[in-house]
Structure 1
Amino acid sequence: MKRLTATLALWVGLATGVQAADPITLGLNYPRSGSYKEEGLSQMRGALLALDEINARGGVLGRPLRLSTLDSASQVDKAVGNVDQLAAEGAAMLFGGASSAVAIAAGKRAREHGLIYFGTLGYSNDTTGKDGHRYLFRESNNATMSARALGQYLAQHLPNKRYFYVTSDYTWGLTSEASLRTATGSEDQARHPSVRLPFPGARLSQYRDALTLAGKSDAQVLALVLFGEDLVRAMRIAHETGLTSRMQVVVPNITGHMVEQAGPSIMEGVLGTTPWTWRVPDMEDSERGRAFVKAYVERYQVYPTSSAAHAYGIVHQWSDAVERARSLKSEAVIKALEGHRYRLLKGEQEWRAFDHQNVQRTYVVKVKPRAEVLKDPLHQDFFEVVHHLDGEQGAPSLSEWQAERRAAGQPDKLL
């Protein structure tokens, strides 16, 4: 009997060891095709680098991490279907996306599966505002944070100007335009008109028609509330028609991929915002940030963009929360994340408890002249930082958030 008990104990121990060594699956629901595919590629690269680092030091709770990826193509229906598939694979956490509409819809479906969803790149206020819930977190800044930072700079350097808006007609574009209008005092749509373009799938003729109207206006500032390849298409037309030489172009959110695709000659002087560039670790004296840039360049031979930094940070932050909670259960991880302050690739950041918005510094950047860009060994030193706004100053307050939720018929707390 003693021998049998010992044998059973040995078998249970071995079985437990095998189970502990089973990999933990993380699901990346990202755009591998469509207008935002370059931002998606960076997310995958950043996530893989984070996984390798975590696995090299023993994984999470003694288990290695593995990544399962599916293409969302920035399409809501496809992204929601991906959530179901990744949940069926046993994913412990889901993240990804470069469209706020995808983050919102996929996050809601993830909640039905009891899974946390991290919106990786999506700036709509709605994501952590009226559409926010307990299972949805956002690492990037929101539209209000971008607009307040950009608005401060524009108020100082381009006061009392007329604006013309060209906007992607979905949640990111609409909340970004509204936030920028508020921040710049350009709410009067008769004085500061706008044209909305369908997303996804705007035709080239629609870009041309919108920019023709902008050219016929008396606006001095052209606000292109477009992202990814949509912005690239619009910038090429604006450059061809001479708009970039007579109007200041501003974009709410910008990444290095957009500059690289359009070309720095076309993008020169464009103003935008970003929460991170590969220069930020030196500016904020972040050793981890410098190590990330070095490792990323060595592996991929390009500088990491904000898209890569977001994905990298999410994987590390989720893993850290799991270790602190000593559990993979979503509710335990949510509690470990809420109110957590940390430093990773820049200065202090916080997962705010009441809305799950990541609060951090936002930078206003201007695209450098092509000659300056080419001085860099990788020809990718695109941005001059011209202004910044700290997270607490830029993020909506609790009372503002609650007012937005009430207006939309949503409860005052995340459910």
Structure 2
Amino acid sequence: MKFNRRNFLKSASGALAYASAPSLLASAGLANEKPIVLGNILDQTGGLNIYSLQQIKSTALAVDELNAAGGVLGRPLQLSFYDSQSNNQLNAQYMTEALVRDEAVVVHGGVTSSSREVMRPIVKKFGGLYFYNSMYEGGVCDPRLVCPAMVPSQQLKPLVPHVVKNMGKRAYILGADYLYPHTMADWIKQYTQDAGGEVIATEFFPLDVSNFASAISRIQAEKPDVVWSVLVGSAHNAFYRQYEATVGKDNIPLASCMFGIGREQTYMSSEESAGIVNATSFHDGLDTDAARSFLQKFQDFTGEQSYVGDYGELGYRGIHLWALAAQKAGDSSADAVIEALPGISFNSPGGPVTIDSATNHAIMDIHLVEANHNQGWDHLGTFEQLSPVDPNATCNLTG
């Protein structure tokens, strides 16, 4: 069954159900088995939906893939999906509904740190399990939270030294005005200093700001060697267009730990995006069998040729990591899966991913990339099996 809006959004109540096609379940011997319900809370609409659209599809793809292989513990998987609309009140409401009304054994979702933090106490209250398939600032230590995505040390350890060496030592940072960009700016400053550079200025902007003329004027006056973007969301995309029309990357290059995560390079002209460098746990140009196989599955499932990207892959890896832990536990309940999670490993499209027993974060490969003129990324190198150093410094779930 090909994924489309009609077959995914078909519930009469608040949750929108996705179940594999009856023919698929029948051929897998699952037609008469009671489904295991997985919650999925993501922004299908709202100002931050650019990070969720492909993840919604890849999550459903993983469910279909597991069901075709016989389900989990001999039962089919079914998604209860909620559109959180970039609204934290809805994130809280829907987490409660997923765990209590729909009896979801696990919930995958959330984009921002604030969305995670309004949902996490609800997960604790009801004894649930929460997979936060989104990069974030690190530091959360919670046995009921699993983070399969990058934290700052993993992304910036390879990226910042590359920027200092190849773009220059004097850096200017622009970021969105909330927790994640503030924390990332601190990490960029630290790694820049460690590499022999300096951050000469840092500015933050509300998520709805789309006019960066004054900031660009200050950049032109300061003349840094490189500008870092930790800007987030649809409104902030305007910065890249305004920057290229004024300063230009040929004059002062751009580095980012966010650009491309929401597939921004596919919305920009090649002149606006080409040359921006980043580091990621997956990109569509990755030259491995696992990456190519995943992209083909995604295209077959959706009928689309569109760029998938990091956040699309994260939803897929999150579902598979949960399924492996449930199979190991022999029980899909939250507490049983939590006990089975340490050391669980999945050969994801971006490379092997293993859940670190002390933190419930992930050990993974990180890929250094540069945006090209074809709305994609050139691969500059892979740093294998980086540990989540920052959570390891503050968290020990085994102690």
Is the aligned partner of 1:69 residue 2:78?
Answer: no
- Bigger Rg, structure 1 or 2: 1
Q: Secondary structure at the match of 1:262?
A: coil
Contact 2:167 2:253 (8 Å CA) reproduced: no
Is the aligned partner of 1:178 residue 2:178?
Answer: no
**CA distance in structure 1 between the aligned counterparts of 2:32 and 2:336, rounded to whole angstroms:** 19
Correspondence for 1:37: 49
Contact 1:162 1:220 (8 Å CA) reproduced: yes
Contact 1:349 1:360 (8 Å CA) reproduced: yes
Q: What is the TM-score normalised by the length of structure 1?
A: 0.81
**CA distance in structure 2 between the aligned counterparts of 1:186 and 1:222, rounded to whole angstroms:** 18
Change (3 A) 1:191 1:135: closer
Correspondence for 1:297: 299
Q: Secondary structure at the match of 1:165?
A: strand
1:210 to 195, 212, 215: 215
- Count matched residues: 367
Gapped runs of 5+ residues in structure 2?
A: 1-28
Measure how far apart 1:187 and its partner are: 11
Is the aligned partner of 1:361 residue 2:365?
Answer: yes
Correspondence for 1:229: 234
Correspondence for 1:8: none
**CA distance in structure 2 between the aligned counterparts of 1:175 and 1:191, rounded to whole angstroms:** 14
Contact 1:23 1:63 (8 Å CA) reproduced: yes
Supply the AA of the counterpart residue of 1:305. Answer: G
Quick one: percent identity of the two aligned structures?
Answer: 20
Contact 1:228 1:258 (8 Å CA) reproduced: no
Q: Secondary structure at the match of 1:359?
A: strand
Is the aligned partner of 1:390 residue 2:392?
Answer: no
Correspondence for 1:244: 249
The alignment's C-alpha RMSD in Å is 2.6
Q: Secondary structure at the match of 1:277?
A: coil
Measure how far apart 1:344 and its partner are: 2.9
**CA distance in structure 2 between the aligned counterparts of 1:184 and 1:143, rounded to whole angstroms:** 13
Supply the AA of the counterpart residue of 2:278. Answer: G
Q: Relative to total residues, which structure has the larger helix share, 1 or 2? A: 1
Gapped runs of 5+ residues in structure 1?
A: 1-16, 374-379, 406-411
Supply the AA of the counterpart residue of 1:149. Answer: P
Correspondence for 1:409: none
**CA distance in structure 2 between the aligned counterparts of 1:229 and 1:57, rounded to whole angstroms:** 38
Q: Relative to total residues, which structure has the larger strand share, 1 or 2? A: 2
Correspondence for 1:153: 162
Contact 1:43 1:310 (8 Å CA) reproduced: yes
Q: Secondary structure at the match of 2:244?
A: helix
2:60 to 48, 55, 59: 48
**CA distance in structure 1 between the aligned counterparts of 2:194 and 2:30, rounded to whole angstroms:** 62
1:142 to 140, 148, 151: 151
Measure how far apart 1:117 and its partner are: 0.8
Change (3 A) 1:79 1:397: closer
**CA distance in structure 2 between the aligned counterparts of 1:329 and 1:185, rounded to whole angstroms:** 46
